[in-house]
Structure 1
Amino acid sequence: MRLKMRYGWVCGLLLFGCETPQTEQSADLTVPVTVQPVGLGTIESVVTSTGTLRPVQEAIIVTEARGFLSLGILAEGRKPTEGLAVQQGEVIARLKNEELVVGARLESRKLAVKNMRKTLDEKEVLVERGLVTQIEAETARKDLVDAQSDYDDALVQIKKTKVTAPISGVLSEFTDATEKTLVDEGTQICRIVDFSQVLVDLQIPNSQIRHIELDQPVRVIDYSYPDEVFDGKISVVDPVVDPTTRTFRAVAVVDNPKGLLRPGMFVKAEIVVESHADVVLVPRELVLMRGNREVVFVEESARAQMREIATGLEDEKFVEVLKGVDEGERLITSNYETLRSRTRVSVAGTEE
């Protein structure tokens, strides 16, 4: 029994002695790697949502009188039709209504105002001379007010025969009525849509609403224009949760200088809730978990050095490093998964 135990102990020594050279050889193994310098950059924390665009303002244009339709001429010399731009105040159409014009008696009412004003001036002079009473002057003043009111009413009636654009925008849903067609009061002529800016309604999850504030920058991306980014900002944050979707509503107003965005488009929006500039960034795939620590490997004097790091913001590509590596250090970017601290490395393109 004693002999067997001694034999086992001797064999153990022999085995241990046989493994020692192999372990030392592993320790001297050189791993080929690539490196890149640690750089500075800007990183953002964003909340992503989607939504449908709507115009920042629009107007439905209807007739305010009955008459025969006659289309106006826009500034560019063309008659209004769908898709053309129109400026606020431009005449879209006119309505010919002789009865309305005659009934307004515009010229006669204008003359009445002129006469009443002259009469009042005369009465005021006579009052100063003591030739008429103040009551007569007040009566003349009342007559002038009434005449002016009648004239203003006539102007309103005449103005109803001219259909003008209340806002600048693009004509849409233009009437099928042709020239000289008799149209009734309340007939829709067109819709004017202003999309120099557009609005997008966003649904924000309960877990993210605490990060959303007014005037935060927003980037909007439409899948039809993958190379275009449209800038905007948060204009509304609804404090009440939607009982149907269990989300909060936020509204972003987005600049649309080229007119590429159109109402009804479905877009992606990124709300920038935090941004850090000129900070140390490393590619997120290079950050490893060793135990409960986040680490990266850097190359120093042909050795891999494991660095524990403290991280900040993250995005899809990069991680902000608050502590652990500095700008300019040589970050190992290949064969890093199995490295240990002090492992010998050879950097591609250099001679050891």
Structure 2
Amino acid sequence: MTEVAKKVGQYVVLIVITVFACGVMWYVSSRGAGVHDEGAGVARPAVAARSKALVSVAAIRPEVTELTVKQSGKIRAWEDYSLGFETAGRVLELGLNDRGEPLDEGDQVQAGQMLARLDDRIYAARRAEAVANLEQAASDLRRDRRLFEQGRGALTEAEYQDTLTRQAVAKAQLEVATKNLEDSVLVSPVNGTISRRMIEAGESVAAHSTVFEVVENDNLLLVVDVPESRVRELEARMREVRQASSDNRTTDPEEKVFRARVHLEGRDAFGNRPPAIDAEVHQIAQVADDRTKLFEVEVRIDNSERLLRPGMVATAELVTKRILAYRVPDVAVMFRGGAAFLFTVREEPTPVEALFWQVGQADLRVANRVDLDQWVDQGEAIIVPAENLELRPVVTRGQQRLTDGQFVRVVNPDALHGASDADATASLPARGPAVASPEVK
């Protein structure tokens, strides 16, 4: 009887264990219901056990950003002067440069500085003769005036008028002789640089023939050709600048200047480009060129250091608008099916499970897709207006296979918390975009 009871007890224990195991299996399957792989019908693993995509992020923040139109052209002198003598003669001497040497091409000259002088002995003699004639005419006029005023018939009115005429002619001859003497010295009308010299001391020159060419290059002009599609945008900016200049309430100095940034095409011995030059749009042509059908835009460049030369090739970035926007690295934005979008990373509270129980919550990082309605391609960056848009740190690597809501692992977590504002924009140009922009998309 004891052995029977023992066997019955064993069966009961096995039944209890079996029932308990079935209950555990039912509990596990019920918890996995609704969170499963639809294709295979298998429950998904816990969040902590799921694989996470590795991504790299960059912190960005809204800042005043410039939209530009980029065009190339050639640098020209502000003004060109072709200078010659008003009178003919033989060149007696040339002016001297700062080194005490005769002026030559490339020498700088100041307004009023002598460039060359003719042999003026003949002109000086003619002026001395004109002075003597004028003094004689003045003496005759004084004598004839006394006689005419006596009224005794010693001098007729016609004779008195002849004396007046001779004095006027002598005065005019003195003025001509004085001008010819002054014209024997050629002076520079402006501060500039000699670009060509066509004479030597001792040579004879004809009147009005060009002997010097001087360029005014304290300021230079970069002339670029702009298509019709962008002229209205530039003209609108020019009017905004003029309005801001007349409005004393405008405190931002950049709003009062039609800013342009000039980049020279050459490179130094190490392959580096010269730094950008701050310039200003001077004038927009009112009529298109007959040959190219493009509009010339003149950009004024300060050349007080005389480092630039007319004829250089350069590229100008014309700042057409300044807006509050995000400068997103171009690698962060993807284009598919005509749509532009990017991924940001946010921290999302997620329950943590151990076996079958929730033991707490953890902030896991989740990818969030952001579709871009407006954007401007600036080459190294995509400009996204900040109005009604807030962008968290954007994914710059690993975003090609991301999906919205996917858990990610960030390889540079410092960027998530904005550890350094400089790091946020270190890969972007500080001022002035690098490539011409299309219209805002």
Match of 1:326 among 381, 390, 403: 390
1:194 corresponds to 2:241: no
1:285 corresponds to 2:308: no
Q: Once the two structures are superposed, what CA deviation does each residue of 1:197-235 show, in whole Å capped at 9, x if it has no partner?
A: 222332222322222225733222221252232333333
Match of 1:53 among 67, 75, 80: 75
Relative to structure 1, is the Cα distance of residues 125 and 231 closer, same or farther in structure 2, using a 3 angstrom cutoff?
farther
Which region of structure 1 is more displaced relative to structure 2, 199-208 or 342-351? 342-351
CA distance in 2, matches of 1:160, 1:292: 71
CA distance in 2, matches of 1:339, 1:283: 18
1:269 corresponds to 2:311: no
2:42 aligned counterpart, secondary structure: helix
Which region of structure 1 is more displaced relative to structure 2, 290-299 or 148-157? 290-299
Match of 2:94 among 61, 68, 71: 71
Q: Report if the CA contact (8 A) 2:285-2:295 is conserved.
A: yes
Q: Report if the CA contact (8 A) 1:67-1:183 is conserved.
A: yes
Q: Report if the CA contact (8 A) 2:53-2:408 is conserved.
A: yes
Relative to structure 1, is the Cα distance of residues 124 and 341 closer, same or farther in structure 2, using a 3 angstrom cutoff?
farther
1:156 corresponds to 2:185: no
Q: Report if the CA contact (8 A) 1:241-1:249 is conserved.
A: yes
Aligned to 1:343: 406
TM-score by length of 1: 0.77
Q: Report if the CA contact (8 A) 2:261-2:318 is conserved.
A: yes
Deviation at residue 164 of structure 1 after TM alignment: 1.4
CA distance in 2, matches of 1:85, 1:304: 63
Deviation at residue 131 of structure 1 after TM alignment: 6.6
Deviation at residue 345 of structure 1 after TM alignment: 1.6
CA distance in 2, matches of 1:118, 1:74: 47
1:57 aligned counterpart, secondary structure: strand
Aligned to 2:298: 251
1:223 corresponds to 2:265: yes
Q: Report if the CA contact (8 A) 1:310-1:322 is conserved.
A: no
Q: Report if the CA contact (8 A) 1:62-1:190 is conserved.
A: yes
Question: Which AA in structure 1 matches 2:111?
Answer: Q
Q: Report if the CA contact (8 A) 1:312-1:321 is conserved.
A: yes
CA distance in 2, matches of 1:269, 1:292: 30
Deviation at residue 99 of structure 1 after TM alignment: 3.2
Deviation at residue 193 of structure 1 after TM alignment: 1.4
Number of residue pairs the alignment of both structures matches: 329
Match of 2:112 among 86, 89, 109: 89
Deviation at residue 80 of structure 1 after TM alignment: 0.9
Aligned to 2:14: none
RMSD of the alignment, in Å?
Answer: 3.7
Relative to structure 1, is the Cα distance of residues 84 and 325 closer, same or farther in structure 2, using a 3 angstrom cutoff?
same
Q: Report if the CA contact (8 A) 2:375-2:382 is conserved.
A: no
2:172 aligned counterpart, secondary structure: helix
Question: Which AA in structure 1 matches 2:398?
Answer: N
Deviation at residue 251 of structure 1 after TM alignment: 2.7
Deviation at residue 71 of structure 1 after TM alignment: 1.7
Relative to structure 1, is the Cα distance of residues 168 and 308 closer, same or farther in structure 2, using a 3 angstrom cutoff?
same
Unaligned runs of 5+ in 1: 1-15
2:299 aligned counterpart, secondary structure: strand
Q: State, as a whole percentage, how many aligned pairs show the same letter.
A: 20
Which region of structure 1 is more displaced relative to structure 2, 138-147 or 208-217? 138-147
Relative to structure 1, is the Cα distance of residues 218 and 124 closer, same or farther in structure 2, using a 3 angstrom cutoff?
farther
Deviation at residue 155 of structure 1 after TM alignment: 0.6
Relative to structure 1, is the Cα distance of residues 39 and 121 closer, same or farther in structure 2, using a 3 angstrom cutoff?
farther
Q: Report if the CA contact (8 A) 2:88-2:204 is conserved.
A: no
Aligned to 1:305: 368
1:19 aligned counterpart, secondary structure: coil
Q: Report if the CA contact (8 A) 2:58-2:396 is conserved.
A: yes
Relative to structure 1, is the Cα distance of residues 23 and 123 closer, same or farther in structure 2, using a 3 angstrom cutoff?
farther
2:171 aligned counterpart, secondary structure: helix
Question: Which AA in structure 1 matches 2:128?
Answer: E
Deviation at residue 123 of structure 1 after TM alignment: 9.9
Q: Report if the CA contact (8 A) 1:218-1:272 is conserved.
A: yes
Match of 1:107 among 128, 133, 155: 128
1:21 corresponds to 2:21: no
